[in-house]
Chains A and B, each alone.
Chain A
């Protein structure tokens, strides 16, 4: 990977991270965070770790980001809730502590890391898709197959619990909207 591309991607990651914490609209924050994660994925690919790069994008952007958006949507968090001004002292303290812990961790890792010229390059097959697939379908075949059954069980359970019951729309309307929460359109109509 050329030096300039690395610098560009690194700068982009920092811009995305700043966007994630400085914007007022929570959805924009999540999008900023997604930018960081995609950017890191591209960086990994550029450094030769193609599998890790794709996994990063699939797992983090595909699954975790969607979870974030789900939570925002489920809790019906509005844009501009004044979180920035209103964060309590306790939250700020916890945030500062977590940041300090991460900084200390990074310091320890980098101070123990071997010098750049001592780093040995590894075989290109290490961590490649082919290697991963081979391990997944030999040593971990049972784990792989049973995981698909696990997901199937989860889907059956979710469908069973989410299936519409007879006369359910009336039951949903009977739940009063929580105070301070804007009622969704469908509920307001019925009410």
Chain B
């Protein structure tokens, strides 16, 4: 009986370091947790922040690497590192804005922070996946943790409903994804992403097994990025979940879902893109339109931001519909960075203003904010303008790059639909600004408005929104080279394609 050697495993430290750091942090918090009272849980949150920082340092170390480890299970490339860093930033901001909320609501702090870290672990795993099994395990780890997090307000029936709805529909969609993976394995004979790409040719494109698998996986990812018509769970789950968890769902889950979606479809199923870009065209148009028009009538800010998140998934899918263009991938990566900062900031403001047990802030909670808390009002204005797509903020630049990638792929009508939708969205984003600046002050003061964790996360989000928008070049070139590494091409080649 021979022994299994490390070389047989294709062992490598570098790709697993960021992942291992986050997993170790999650387990450490889980083990320390029982000795910590729920009221003092902020210390556990700080521990989570330290973990995330360490993981970020490790992720930065992996920049510039380009290899597959563990028999092709894990990809160490700039694409993985890029997403890992952005996911870690988003998770850190989520933890920062949770510090007071968790203690104030009396939620179980140890479980909360360890589940946040487990979810972040799953997200990073999706970004670094080298085969479809890892994509699936990452997605499930993230999803299971977030299902539970959505139900953390145990006494609030809306939170229970959110968790149950998200869990049942999410489990259903995971079934689709898994079935799709099985069919693609059947059609191509391999589970690794690179061998699958190598196996795709004109004959494979006609294989009904492959097409069925593509459709199933499209449904599975569609659920996770909240694309219409798979978005039904989104408003209720977003509204009922504790607000920091909503922020995590709108940003972290979406980042990871797009990381997996783009790596599987754009980077590795690109050779058969003719088979699925038309479907994505329709889904993108529907998603933008439904998201924006439903957002128009929302009074609750969490619901409005939920529909806004659907609409933004639609804008991102415009980029995916332009798949053979290499610049589309880089533009989407850039868009996701801006989206992450802006949305996290907007949710942090909502946390600052919502009243205990109210299930999120309504528009009337924002009345006269410019007088009671001018700084917060200014920050919120900035986030709304960025979500609208006003230059020179991150939201505008992201839309500009994604739409011009779509134009270069001759998706003129889709870009027209997207532009019209952006115009519609101005109404509901601007309404928040009007309420803050033109109306009388609300009666009761907000409860958490000046807590340090929230202040830090709002300031970081403002800085991100402005910096990413004003100095797009370094971010965009990082995004482009990251996407190029997922395609397995040197960056120079992509630059020449532009």
Chains A and B are bound partners: yes
* Residues of A near any B CB (own CB < 8 A): 134, 137-143, 146-147, 149-150, 152-154, 156-161, 163, 165, 171
**Cross-chain contact of A153 among B4, B9, B131, B144 (Cβ < 8 A):** B144
Q: Contact at A165–B27, with CB atoms within 8 Å?
A: no
Return chain A residues, CB-CB under 8 Å to B163. Answer: 161
Main secondary structure of the interface of A (DSSP, over half): helix
Q: Contact at A146–B138, with CB atoms within 8 Å?
A: yes
Is the C-beta of B321 less than 8 angstroms from some C-beta in chain A?
A: no
- With contacts A137-B9, A142-B70, A146-B134 taken as known, whether A157 is within 8 angstroms of B148 at the C-beta atoms is yes
Give the A-B pair count, Cβ closer than 8 A. Answer: 87
Q: Contact at B71–A138, with CB atoms within 8 Å?
A: yes
Closest beta carbon of chain B to A191's beta carbon, Å: 21
Return chain A residues, CB-CB under 8 Å to B23. Answer: 149
Q: Contact at A143–B137, with CB atoms within 8 Å?
A: yes
Question: What are the 6 tightest A-B residue pairs by CB atom distance, in nearest-first order?
Answer: A157-B148, A160-B111, A153-B118, A139-B71, A142-B73, A150-B141
Known: A156-B115, A171-B155. 17 other contacts (CB 8 A): A138-B8, A139-B72, A141-B73, A142-B73, A143-B73, A143-B131, A146-B125, A150-B144, A153-B26, A153-B115, A153-B119, A153-B121, A153-B141, A156-B118, A156-B148, A160-B148, A161-B154
Q: Contact at A140–B111, with CB atoms within 8 Å?
A: no
Q: Contact at A149–B9, with CB atoms within 8 Å?
A: no
**B145: nearest chain-A partner, CB-CB:** A153
**A137: nearest chain-B partner, CB-CB:** B4
Return chain A residues, CB-CB under 8 Å to B154. Answer: 161, 165
**A130: nearest chain-B partner, CB-CB:** B1
Contact indicator per residue, chain B 10-23, by CB within 8 Å of chain A (1) or not (0)? 10000010000001
Give complex CA distance A171, B73 in Å. 47
Is the C-beta of B30 less than 8 angstroms from some C-beta in chain A?
A: yes
Closest beta carbon of chain A to B67's beta carbon, Å: 14
Q: Contact at B144–A160, with CB atoms within 8 Å?
A: no
Contact indicator per residue, chain B 119-157, by CB within 8 Å of chain A (1) or not (0)? 101100100000101100110110011011101101100
Return chain B residues, CB-CB under 8 Å to A146. Answer: 125, 134, 137-138, 141
**B22: nearest chain-A partner, CB-CB:** A149
Return chain A residues, CB-CB under 8 Å to B350. Answer: none
Give complex CA distance A152, B122 in Å. 12
Return chain A residues, CB-CB under 8 Å to B141. Answer: 146, 149-150, 153
Return chain B residues, CB-CB under 8 Å to A137. Answer: 4, 9
**B142: nearest chain-A partner, CB-CB:** A153
